[in-house]
Structure 1
Amino acid sequence: MEHNPRVLIWNVRGLNARARRTAVRSLVVTANASLVCLQETKMALICSSTVLEALGSEFDDYVYLLAQGTRGGILLAWKSREIVISDPLFTANTLTARVSTPSVARTSWWITVVYGPQPDEAKIAFLQELCNTRMDCVGPWMICGDFNLIYRDEDKNNRNVNRRMIGRFRRTINDLALKEVYLNGRRYMWSNEQSPPTLVHLDRVLCTADWEELHGECHLRCLASVVSDHSPLLLDCSPMPPAHRR
Protein backbone atom coordinates (compact mmCIF):
# COMPACT_ATOMS: atom_id res chain seq x y z
CA MET A 1 0.00 0.00 0.00
CA GLU A 2 1.32 3.46 -0.86
CA HIS A 3 2.36 5.53 2.11
CA ASN A 4 1.33 9.18 2.32
CA PRO A 5 1.83 11.35 5.38
CA ARG A 6 -0.47 12.00 8.28
CA VAL A 7 -0.35 15.75 8.77
CA LEU A 8 -1.05 17.41 12.12
CA ILE A 9 -2.13 21.07 11.81
CA TRP A 10 -2.49 23.09 15.00
CA ASN A 11 -2.38 26.60 16.42
CA VAL A 12 -0.66 25.76 19.71
CA ARG A 13 -0.65 29.30 21.21
CA GLY A 14 3.02 29.14 22.07
CA LEU A 15 5.78 26.59 22.61
CA ASN A 16 7.68 28.56 25.25
CA ALA A 17 6.34 26.67 28.28
CA ARG A 18 7.65 23.18 29.00
CA ALA A 19 4.20 21.97 30.09
CA ARG A 20 2.75 23.03 26.74
CA ARG A 21 5.53 21.28 24.81
CA THR A 22 4.85 18.11 26.81
CA ALA A 23 1.14 18.31 25.98
CA VAL A 24 1.88 18.88 22.29
CA ARG A 25 4.19 15.88 22.21
CA SER A 26 1.54 13.66 23.78
CA LEU A 27 -0.94 14.59 21.07
CA VAL A 28 1.64 14.15 18.28
CA VAL A 29 2.41 10.63 19.52
CA THR A 30 -1.30 9.78 19.76
CA ALA A 31 -1.97 11.12 16.26
CA ASN A 32 0.98 9.15 14.79
CA ALA A 33 1.70 12.07 12.48
CA SER A 34 4.74 12.15 10.21
CA LEU A 35 4.44 15.83 9.26
CA VAL A 36 3.59 18.51 11.84
CA CYS A 37 2.50 22.08 11.05
CA LEU A 38 2.34 24.27 14.17
CA GLN A 39 1.22 27.89 14.13
CA GLU A 40 1.68 30.66 16.71
CA THR A 41 4.83 29.20 18.23
CA LYS A 42 5.64 32.65 19.70
CA MET A 43 9.33 31.81 19.36
CA ALA A 44 11.90 33.88 17.47
CA LEU A 45 14.42 31.03 17.68
CA ILE A 46 13.68 27.30 17.59
CA CYS A 47 16.47 24.84 18.28
CA SER A 48 16.59 21.05 17.96
CA SER A 49 16.11 20.55 21.71
CA THR A 50 12.77 22.42 21.52
CA VAL A 51 11.61 20.25 18.62
CA LEU A 52 12.74 17.11 20.43
CA GLU A 53 10.83 18.04 23.56
CA ALA A 54 7.69 19.15 21.71
CA LEU A 55 7.49 16.44 19.04
CA GLY A 56 9.81 13.53 19.88
CA SER A 57 13.07 12.15 18.55
CA GLU A 58 11.58 10.84 15.28
CA PHE A 59 11.08 14.42 14.09
CA ASP A 60 14.68 14.91 13.12
CA ASP A 61 14.35 17.76 10.64
CA TYR A 62 12.46 21.04 10.58
CA VAL A 63 12.17 24.56 9.23
CA TYR A 64 10.48 27.50 10.89
CA LEU A 65 9.22 31.03 10.40
CA LEU A 66 10.28 33.15 13.34
CA ALA A 67 7.77 34.98 15.49
CA GLN A 68 7.58 38.77 15.60
CA GLY A 69 8.08 39.45 19.29
CA THR A 70 5.50 37.27 21.04
CA ARG A 71 3.21 37.00 18.03
CA GLY A 72 3.08 34.42 15.25
CA GLY A 73 5.70 31.93 14.24
CA ILE A 74 5.33 28.68 12.26
CA LEU A 75 7.09 25.34 12.71
CA LEU A 76 7.14 22.65 10.01
CA ALA A 77 8.76 19.42 11.23
CA TRP A 78 8.90 15.94 9.75
CA LYS A 79 10.22 12.40 10.07
CA SER A 80 12.98 12.23 7.46
CA ARG A 81 12.74 8.45 7.11
CA GLU A 82 9.19 8.88 5.79
CA ILE A 83 9.14 12.31 4.13
CA VAL A 84 11.48 14.54 2.16
CA ILE A 85 11.00 18.30 2.48
CA SER A 86 12.86 20.68 0.18
CA ASP A 87 12.84 24.15 -1.37
CA PRO A 88 11.43 26.11 1.61
CA LEU A 89 9.94 29.52 0.86
CA PHE A 90 9.05 32.18 3.43
CA THR A 91 6.78 35.21 3.48
CA ALA A 92 5.58 37.35 6.37
CA ASN A 93 2.72 34.97 7.23
CA THR A 94 3.46 31.70 5.42
CA LEU A 95 5.96 28.87 5.20
CA THR A 96 5.98 26.81 2.00
CA ALA A 97 7.95 23.69 1.02
CA ARG A 98 7.95 20.82 -1.46
CA VAL A 99 6.84 17.44 -0.07
CA SER A 100 7.72 14.01 -1.42
CA THR A 101 7.71 10.50 0.01
CA PRO A 102 10.59 8.15 -0.89
CA SER A 103 8.33 5.09 -0.86
CA VAL A 104 5.91 6.57 -3.40
CA ALA A 105 6.94 7.04 -7.03
CA ARG A 106 4.67 9.95 -7.85
CA THR A 107 4.79 13.68 -8.37
CA SER A 108 5.78 15.75 -5.37
CA TRP A 109 3.47 18.46 -4.06
CA TRP A 110 3.66 21.78 -2.27
CA ILE A 111 2.48 22.59 1.24
CA THR A 112 1.94 26.10 2.58
CA VAL A 113 1.40 26.58 6.32
CA VAL A 114 -0.25 29.88 7.22
CA TYR A 115 -0.84 31.97 10.30
CA GLY A 116 -3.09 34.84 9.22
CA PRO A 117 -2.77 38.31 10.75
CA GLN A 118 -5.45 40.20 12.69
CA PRO A 119 -5.64 43.77 11.21
CA ASP A 120 -7.65 44.18 8.01
CA GLU A 121 -4.80 45.87 6.13
CA ALA A 122 -2.49 42.97 7.02
CA LYS A 123 -5.16 40.46 5.96
CA ILE A 124 -5.27 42.03 2.49
CA ALA A 125 -1.49 41.77 2.21
CA PHE A 126 -1.69 38.16 3.46
CA LEU A 127 -4.13 37.22 0.69
CA GLN A 128 -1.72 38.74 -1.85
CA GLU A 129 1.05 36.59 -0.31
CA LEU A 130 -1.00 33.49 -1.13
CA CYS A 131 -1.37 34.61 -4.76
CA ASN A 132 2.36 35.31 -5.03
CA THR A 133 3.19 31.96 -3.45
CA ARG A 134 1.12 30.14 -6.03
CA MET A 135 3.19 31.73 -8.79
CA ASP A 136 6.32 30.17 -7.23
CA CYS A 137 4.75 26.74 -6.61
CA VAL A 138 3.69 25.06 -9.82
CA GLY A 139 1.91 21.75 -9.39
CA PRO A 140 -0.27 20.14 -6.71
CA TRP A 141 -0.69 22.52 -3.75
CA MET A 142 -2.20 22.28 -0.29
CA ILE A 143 -2.61 25.21 2.13
CA CYS A 144 -3.35 24.67 5.81
CA GLY A 145 -3.35 26.46 9.14
CA ASP A 146 -5.03 29.29 11.00
CA PHE A 147 -6.19 31.76 8.36
CA ASN A 148 -7.86 34.18 10.80
CA LEU A 149 -10.42 34.60 8.02
CA ILE A 150 -13.76 33.11 7.04
CA TYR A 151 -15.37 32.99 3.60
CA ARG A 152 -18.96 32.02 4.53
CA ASP A 153 -21.49 33.37 7.04
CA GLU A 154 -21.92 29.89 8.48
CA ASP A 155 -18.23 29.82 9.46
CA LYS A 156 -19.22 31.82 12.58
CA ASN A 157 -21.98 31.18 15.11
CA ASN A 158 -23.14 34.83 15.25
CA ARG A 159 -23.76 37.66 12.79
CA ASN A 160 -20.79 39.81 13.83
CA VAL A 161 -18.87 39.28 10.59
CA ASN A 162 -16.75 41.45 8.29
CA ARG A 163 -18.47 40.95 4.95
CA ARG A 164 -15.80 42.88 3.07
CA MET A 165 -13.09 40.50 4.23
CA ILE A 166 -15.37 37.51 3.62
CA GLY A 167 -15.70 38.66 0.02
CA ARG A 168 -11.95 39.18 -0.39
CA PHE A 169 -11.13 35.74 0.99
CA ARG A 170 -13.75 34.07 -1.19
CA ARG A 171 -12.44 35.82 -4.31
CA THR A 172 -8.89 34.74 -3.50
CA ILE A 173 -10.01 31.12 -3.10
CA ASN A 174 -11.82 31.31 -6.44
CA ASP A 175 -8.93 33.06 -8.23
CA LEU A 176 -6.50 30.38 -7.03
CA ALA A 177 -8.96 27.59 -7.97
CA LEU A 178 -8.88 26.16 -4.45
CA LYS A 179 -11.39 23.95 -2.70
CA GLU A 180 -11.73 23.12 0.96
CA VAL A 181 -10.99 19.61 2.22
CA TYR A 182 -14.10 18.43 4.03
CA LEU A 183 -13.79 18.41 7.82
CA ASN A 184 -15.46 15.40 9.42
CA GLY A 185 -17.34 15.67 12.70
CA ARG A 186 -16.80 19.34 13.58
CA ARG A 187 -18.12 22.69 12.41
CA TYR A 188 -15.99 25.15 14.41
CA MET A 189 -12.34 24.89 15.50
CA TRP A 190 -11.92 28.02 17.62
CA SER A 191 -13.72 29.33 20.68
CA ASN A 192 -13.21 32.54 22.66
CA GLU A 193 -14.02 30.43 25.74
CA GLN A 194 -16.60 32.94 27.00
CA SER A 195 -20.23 32.44 27.98
CA PRO A 196 -21.98 32.42 25.58
CA PRO A 197 -19.04 31.44 23.34
CA THR A 198 -18.12 32.83 19.96
CA LEU A 199 -17.28 29.89 17.70
CA VAL A 200 -15.46 30.31 14.39
CA HIS A 201 -14.10 28.09 11.60
CA LEU A 202 -10.64 29.71 11.37
CA ASP A 203 -8.47 26.62 10.79
CA ARG A 204 -8.85 24.84 7.47
CA VAL A 205 -7.21 22.90 4.66
CA LEU A 206 -7.48 24.12 1.07
CA CYS A 207 -6.13 22.39 -2.01
CA THR A 208 -5.93 22.51 -5.78
CA ALA A 209 -7.68 20.01 -8.03
CA ASP A 210 -4.45 18.19 -8.92
CA TRP A 211 -3.59 17.80 -5.20
CA GLU A 212 -7.03 16.31 -4.65
CA GLU A 213 -6.42 13.87 -7.50
CA LEU A 214 -3.27 12.65 -5.74
CA HIS A 215 -5.04 12.32 -2.37
CA GLY A 216 -8.63 11.65 -3.32
CA GLU A 217 -9.22 9.41 -0.31
CA CYS A 218 -7.75 11.80 2.28
CA HIS A 219 -9.61 12.24 5.55
CA LEU A 220 -9.62 15.37 7.75
CA ARG A 221 -10.85 15.40 11.34
CA CYS A 222 -10.47 17.28 14.62
CA LEU A 223 -8.65 15.97 17.66
CA ALA A 224 -9.41 16.84 21.27
CA SER A 225 -7.11 19.08 23.30
CA VAL A 226 -7.40 21.43 26.26
CA VAL A 227 -4.01 23.08 25.65
CA SER A 228 -5.18 25.62 23.04
CA ASP A 229 -8.38 27.45 22.12
CA HIS A 230 -7.88 25.98 18.61
CA SER A 231 -8.70 22.35 17.90
CA PRO A 232 -5.92 20.31 16.26
CA LEU A 233 -6.61 19.00 12.75
CA LEU A 234 -5.35 15.64 11.53
CA LEU A 235 -5.17 15.09 7.78
CA ASP A 236 -4.65 11.47 6.81
CA CYS A 237 -3.53 11.45 3.18
CA SER A 238 -3.88 7.67 2.81
CA PRO A 239 -6.45 6.40 5.31
CA MET A 240 -7.13 2.73 5.77
CA PRO A 241 -10.16 1.55 3.79
CA PRO A 242 -13.26 1.05 5.97
CA ALA A 243 -13.88 -2.48 7.16
CA HIS A 244 -16.79 -4.26 5.54
CA ARG A 245 -19.53 -5.74 7.69
CA ARG A 246 -20.04 -9.43 7.44
Structure 2
Amino acid sequence: MDHGLKVVVWNVRGLNARARRHAICTLLDTTGASIVCLQETKIELLCSSVVLDTLGFEFDDYTYLPAQGTRGGILLAWKSRAVSISDPLFTNNAISARVATTGGTLWWMTIVYGPQDDMAKIAFLEELREIRADCHGPWMLCGDFNLILRSKDKNTDNVNRRMMGKF
Protein backbone atom coordinates (compact mmCIF):
# COMPACT_ATOMS: atom_id res chain seq x y z
CA MET A 1 0.00 0.00 0.00
CA ASP A 2 1.09 3.57 -0.57
CA HIS A 3 2.36 4.83 2.77
CA GLY A 4 1.35 8.42 1.92
CA LEU A 5 -2.34 7.54 1.55
CA LYS A 6 -4.44 8.50 4.56
CA VAL A 7 -7.88 7.10 5.31
CA VAL A 8 -10.35 8.46 7.87
CA VAL A 9 -12.88 5.97 9.29
CA TRP A 10 -15.54 7.34 11.65
CA ASN A 11 -18.93 6.33 13.03
CA VAL A 12 -20.52 9.78 12.84
CA ARG A 13 -23.86 8.83 14.46
CA GLY A 14 -25.79 10.91 11.94
CA LEU A 15 -25.15 13.63 9.36
CA ASN A 16 -28.45 15.43 9.88
CA ALA A 17 -27.03 18.12 12.20
CA ARG A 18 -25.12 20.97 10.56
CA ALA A 19 -22.78 21.21 13.58
CA ARG A 20 -21.80 17.53 13.14
CA ARG A 21 -21.12 18.06 9.43
CA HIS A 22 -18.97 21.09 10.27
CA ALA A 23 -16.97 19.09 12.85
CA ILE A 24 -16.28 16.38 10.25
CA CYS A 25 -15.21 18.94 7.64
CA THR A 26 -12.88 20.60 10.16
CA LEU A 27 -11.29 17.27 11.08
CA LEU A 28 -10.77 16.36 7.43
CA ASP A 29 -9.03 19.70 6.81
CA THR A 30 -6.42 18.74 9.43
CA THR A 31 -5.86 15.09 8.48
CA GLY A 32 -4.78 15.28 4.85
CA ALA A 33 -6.87 12.18 4.17
CA SER A 34 -7.56 11.08 0.59
CA ILE A 35 -10.33 8.62 1.48
CA VAL A 36 -13.09 9.02 4.06
CA CYS A 37 -15.40 6.26 5.29
CA LEU A 38 -18.33 7.37 7.43
CA GLN A 39 -20.69 4.92 9.09
CA GLU A 40 -24.13 5.47 10.58
CA THR A 41 -25.00 8.46 8.38
CA LYS A 42 -28.69 7.95 9.27
CA ILE A 43 -29.62 9.40 5.88
CA GLU A 44 -31.67 7.46 3.36
CA LEU A 45 -31.15 9.79 0.38
CA LEU A 46 -27.73 11.43 0.56
CA CYS A 47 -27.63 14.46 -1.75
CA SER A 48 -24.45 16.09 -3.06
CA SER A 49 -25.04 19.32 -1.09
CA VAL A 50 -24.91 17.37 2.22
CA VAL A 51 -21.75 15.56 1.06
CA LEU A 52 -20.13 18.88 0.08
CA ASP A 53 -21.15 20.46 3.39
CA THR A 54 -19.75 17.47 5.30
CA LEU A 55 -16.50 16.81 3.45
CA GLY A 56 -15.57 19.99 1.59
CA PHE A 57 -14.91 20.40 -2.13
CA GLU A 58 -11.70 18.33 -2.29
CA PHE A 59 -13.63 15.07 -1.85
CA ASP A 60 -15.00 15.23 -5.35
CA ASP A 61 -16.37 11.72 -5.75
CA TYR A 62 -18.42 9.45 -3.52
CA THR A 63 -20.78 6.53 -3.25
CA TYR A 64 -23.04 5.50 -0.42
CA LEU A 65 -25.19 2.80 1.07
CA PRO A 66 -28.47 4.41 2.17
CA ALA A 67 -29.71 4.19 5.72
CA GLN A 68 -32.80 2.09 6.36
CA GLY A 69 -35.04 4.82 7.69
CA THR A 70 -32.84 6.41 10.34
CA ARG A 71 -30.63 3.35 10.92
CA GLY A 72 -27.25 2.70 9.37
CA GLY A 73 -25.92 4.25 6.20
CA ILE A 74 -22.35 4.35 4.88
CA LEU A 75 -20.57 7.07 2.91
CA LEU A 76 -17.34 6.37 0.99
CA ALA A 77 -15.73 9.48 -0.53
CA TRP A 78 -12.35 10.20 -2.08
CA LYS A 79 -10.13 12.82 -3.67
CA SER A 80 -9.93 11.75 -7.31
CA ARG A 81 -6.59 13.54 -7.81
CA ALA A 82 -5.03 11.16 -5.24
CA VAL A 83 -6.89 7.89 -5.71
CA SER A 84 -9.32 6.14 -8.03
CA ILE A 85 -12.14 4.04 -6.62
CA SER A 86 -14.18 1.77 -8.87
CA ASP A 87 -16.29 -1.38 -9.08
CA PRO A 88 -18.37 -0.74 -5.96
CA LEU A 89 -20.12 -3.77 -4.47
CA PHE A 90 -23.08 -3.10 -2.18
CA THR A 91 -24.35 -5.61 0.36
CA ASN A 92 -26.74 -5.27 3.30
CA ASN A 93 -24.09 -3.90 5.66
CA ALA A 94 -21.12 -2.88 3.53
CA ILE A 95 -19.64 -1.09 0.56
CA SER A 96 -16.62 -2.68 -1.10
CA ALA A 97 -14.62 -1.07 -3.91
CA ARG A 98 -11.38 -1.42 -5.84
CA VAL A 99 -8.81 1.25 -4.97
CA ALA A 100 -6.02 2.37 -7.30
CA THR A 101 -3.47 4.89 -6.07
CA THR A 102 -1.69 7.34 -8.34
CA GLY A 103 1.41 5.18 -7.81
CA GLY A 104 -0.41 2.23 -9.37
CA THR A 105 -1.05 0.17 -6.24
CA LEU A 106 -4.31 -1.84 -6.48
CA TRP A 107 -6.28 -3.14 -3.49
CA TRP A 108 -9.80 -3.58 -2.19
CA MET A 109 -11.47 -1.87 0.72
CA THR A 110 -14.69 -2.72 2.51
CA ILE A 111 -16.48 -0.35 4.85
CA VAL A 112 -19.04 -1.89 7.20
CA TYR A 113 -21.75 -0.86 9.59
CA GLY A 114 -22.74 -4.06 11.36
CA PRO A 115 -26.22 -4.87 12.64
CA GLN A 116 -27.30 -4.76 16.29
CA ASP A 117 -29.33 -8.01 16.49
CA ASP A 118 -27.43 -11.24 17.27
CA MET A 119 -29.11 -13.27 14.49
CA ALA A 120 -28.36 -10.52 11.98
CA LYS A 121 -24.74 -10.46 13.23
CA ILE A 122 -24.31 -14.12 12.28
CA ALA A 123 -25.60 -13.37 8.76
CA PHE A 124 -23.29 -10.33 8.68
CA LEU A 125 -20.24 -12.48 9.41
CA GLU A 126 -21.20 -14.73 6.49
CA GLU A 127 -21.64 -11.61 4.35
CA LEU A 128 -18.04 -10.64 5.19
CA ARG A 129 -16.78 -14.08 4.13
CA GLU A 130 -18.58 -13.71 0.79
CA ILE A 131 -17.23 -10.19 0.28
CA ARG A 132 -13.68 -11.40 0.89
CA ALA A 133 -14.15 -14.14 -1.70
CA ASP A 134 -15.14 -11.48 -4.26
CA CYS A 135 -12.25 -9.12 -3.44
CA HIS A 136 -9.12 -10.78 -4.81
CA GLY A 137 -5.76 -9.48 -3.62
CA PRO A 138 -4.93 -7.05 -0.83
CA TRP A 139 -7.99 -6.07 1.22
CA MET A 140 -8.69 -3.48 3.89
CA LEU A 141 -11.71 -4.06 6.13
CA CYS A 142 -12.84 -1.17 8.32
CA GLY A 143 -15.86 0.38 9.97
CA ASP A 144 -18.18 -0.24 12.89
CA PHE A 145 -18.80 -3.96 13.27
CA ASN A 146 -21.06 -3.68 16.33
CA LEU A 147 -19.07 -6.68 17.57
CA ILE A 148 -16.13 -6.99 19.93
CA LEU A 149 -13.13 -9.26 19.77
CA ARG A 150 -12.06 -9.05 23.43
CA SER A 151 -14.02 -8.32 26.61
CA LYS A 152 -11.71 -5.36 27.36
CA ASP A 153 -13.08 -3.73 24.19
CA LYS A 154 -16.41 -3.22 25.97
CA ASN A 155 -17.09 -0.58 28.59
CA THR A 156 -19.59 -2.73 30.54
CA ASP A 157 -19.55 -6.25 31.96
CA ASN A 158 -22.37 -7.34 29.64
CA VAL A 159 -20.30 -9.50 27.24
CA ASN A 160 -21.61 -12.08 24.77
CA ARG A 161 -18.69 -14.54 24.64
CA ARG A 162 -20.41 -16.76 22.07
CA MET A 163 -20.66 -13.85 19.62
CA MET A 164 -17.08 -12.80 20.41
CA GLY A 165 -15.97 -16.31 19.42
CA LYS A 166 -17.84 -16.13 16.12
CA PHE A 167 -16.25 -12.76 15.38
User: Which of the five TM-score ranges fits, normalised by the shorter chain?
Assistant: over 0.9
- Aligned partner (choices 142, 145, 149) of residue 151 of structure 1: 149
Residue type matched to 2:121 in 1? Answer: K
What residue identity is the alignment partner of 2:39?
Answer: Q
Q: Which residue pairs with 1:79 in the alignment?
A: 79
- Percent of matched pairs sharing the same residue: 67
| Aligned-partner residue type, residue 99 of structure 1 | V
Q: Secondary structure at the match of 1:76?
A: strand
Amino acid at match of 2:32: N
Deviation at 1:28, TM superposition (A): 0.9
Whole-Å separation in 1 of the counterparts to 2:155 and 2:56: 37
Alignment correspondent of 1:12: 12
Q: Give me the whole-angstrom Cα distance separating, in 2, the residues matched to 1:21 and 1:157.
A: 27
Name stretches of at least 5 consecutive residues in structure 1 with no aligned partner: 170-246
**Between 154-163 and 51-60, the greater mean CA deviation after superposition:** 154-163
In structure 1, the partner of 2:112 is: 114
Q: Paired residue for 1:26?
A: 26
CA offset at residue 160 of structure 1? 1.6
Q: 1:39·1:115 contact (CA, 8 Å) conserved in 2? A: yes
Among 127, 130, 133, the alignment partner of 1:132 is: 130
Residue 61 (structure 2) aligns with: 61
Residue 189 of structure 1: aligned partner: none
Correspondence list, 1:77-226, <5 A:
77-102=77-102, 104-106=103-105, 108-169=106-167
Give the Cα–Cα distance (whole angstroms) in 1 for the partners of residues 48 and 147 of structure 2. Answer: 32
- TM-score, reference length from structure 2: 0.95
User: Which ranges in structure 2 are unaligned for 5 or more consecutive residues?
Assistant: none
Please, what TM-score do these two structures have when normalized by structure 1? 0.65
Q: Say which SS state the counterpart of residue 92 (structure 1) adopts.
A: coil
Structure-2 residue corresponding to 1:185: none
CA contact (8 A) 1:3 1:101 kept: no
- What is the CA–CA distance in structure 2 between the aligned matches of 1:152 and 1:141, rounded to whole Å? 23
Q: Counterpart of 1:133 in structure 2: which amino acid?
A: I
RMSD: 1.2
1:33 positional shift? 1.0
Cα distance in 2 for residues equivalent to 1:161 and 1:3: 36
The separation in 1 between residues aligned to 2:157 and 2:44, in whole angstroms, is 36
* Inter-partner Cα distance in structure 2 for 1:92 and 1:78: 22
Residue identity opposite 2:104 in structure 1: A
